[in-house]
Chains A and B, each alone.
Chain A
Amino acid sequence: MMNNQVNIVQDPDLGGVNQPLLIIDKLYKRFPIKGSFFSKEKKYVHALNGVSFELKKGETLGIVGESGCGKSTLAKLISGLLKHDAGNLIFDGQGVNEIRGISLKNLKKNLQMVFQDSYSSLNPRLTIEEAIAFGPTMHGMSHEDARQLAIQLLSRVGLDANQFGNRYPSELSGGQRQRVNIARALAFNPKMLILDESVAALDKSVQAQILNLLIELKKESKLTFLFISHDLQVVNYISDRLIVMYLGQIVEYGPSDKIFEKPRHPYTKALFSSVPEYKKINGVEKIILSGDPPNPIHLPSGCKFRTRCPQAQEVCLKEPVLQAVNPHQDYWVACHLAHPEQGKE
Chain B
Amino acid sequence: MFLYVLKRILYSVPIILGVSILTFALVFMAPGDPISAIAPADAPEEVVQALKISYGLDRPVPVQYLLWLKKAVTGDLGVSIASGRPVLGEILTAFSHTLSIALIASFLGVGLGFFLGGVAGFYQNSWLDRIATFLSLIGISVPHYWLGLVLTIVFSVWLGWLPSMGAGPDSGAFYWDFEHIKFMLLPAITMAVIPTGIITRSVKSIVAEILAREFLVSLRARGLTDMTVLKHVIRNALPMVLAVVGLQIGYLMGGSILIETVFSWPGTGFLLNIAIFQRDFPLLQGIVLILCMFFVILNLVIDILQSILDPRIMRS
Partner-B contacts on A (CB < 8 A) = 36-38
| List of A residues within 8 angstroms of B3 by Cβ | 36-38
Partner-A contacts on B (CB < 8 A) = 3, 7
| List of B residues within 8 angstroms of A38 by Cβ | 3
- 4 example contacts (A-B, Cβ-Cβ < 8 A) are as follows A36-B3, A37-B3, A37-B7, A38-B3
**CA A14 to CA B164, docked complex, whole Å:** 87
Question: Closest Cβ of chain B: how far from A331's Cβ, in Å?
Answer: 47
| List of A residues within 8 angstroms of B7 by Cβ | 37
Chain A interface SS verdict (over half): loop
**CA A243 to CA B3, docked complex, whole Å:** 46
**CA A87 to CA B3, docked complex, whole Å:** 40
**CA A38 to CA B2, docked complex, whole Å:** 13
| List of B residues within 8 angstroms of A36 by Cβ | 3
Question: Closest Cβ of chain A: how far from B144's Cβ, in Å?
Answer: 40
**CA A37 to CA B2, docked complex, whole Å:** 12
Question: Closest Cβ of chain B: how far from A231's Cβ, in Å?
Answer: 32
Question: Closest Cβ of chain B: how far from A129's Cβ, in Å?
Answer: 38
> Which 4 interchain pairs have the tightest Cβ spacing?
A37-B3, A37-B7, A36-B3, A38-B3
| List of B residues within 8 angstroms of A37 by Cβ | 3, 7
**CA A36 to CA B3, docked complex, whole Å:** 10
**CA A64 to CA B3, docked complex, whole Å:** 43
Q: In this complex, what residue of A is CB-closest to B3?
A: A37
Q: In this complex, what residue of B is CB-closest to A37?
A: B3
Q: In this complex, what residue of A is CB-closest to B4?
A: A37
**CA A37 to CA B3, docked complex, whole Å:** 8
**CA A37 to CA B7, docked complex, whole Å:** 8
**CA A36 to CA B7, docked complex, whole Å:** 11
**CA A38 to CA B3, docked complex, whole Å:** 9
**CA A244 to CA B7, docked complex, whole Å:** 45
**CA A166 to CA B7, docked complex, whole Å:** 52
**CA A38 to CA B7, docked complex, whole Å:** 11
**CA A162 to CA B3, docked complex, whole Å:** 61
Question: Closest Cβ of chain B: how far from A34's Cβ, in Å?
Answer: 11
**CA A38 to CA B4, docked complex, whole Å:** 12
Question: Closest Cβ of chain A: how far from B53's Cβ, in Å?
Answer: 45
**CA A38 to CA B6, docked complex, whole Å:** 12
Question: Closest Cβ of chain A: how far from B10's Cβ, in Å?
Answer: 10
Question: Closest Cβ of chain A: how far from B316's Cβ, in Å?
Answer: 12
Q: In this complex, what residue of B is CB-closest to A36?
A: B3
Question: Closest Cβ of chain A: how far from B94's Cβ, in Å?
Answer: 39
**CA A296 to CA B122, docked complex, whole Å:** 48
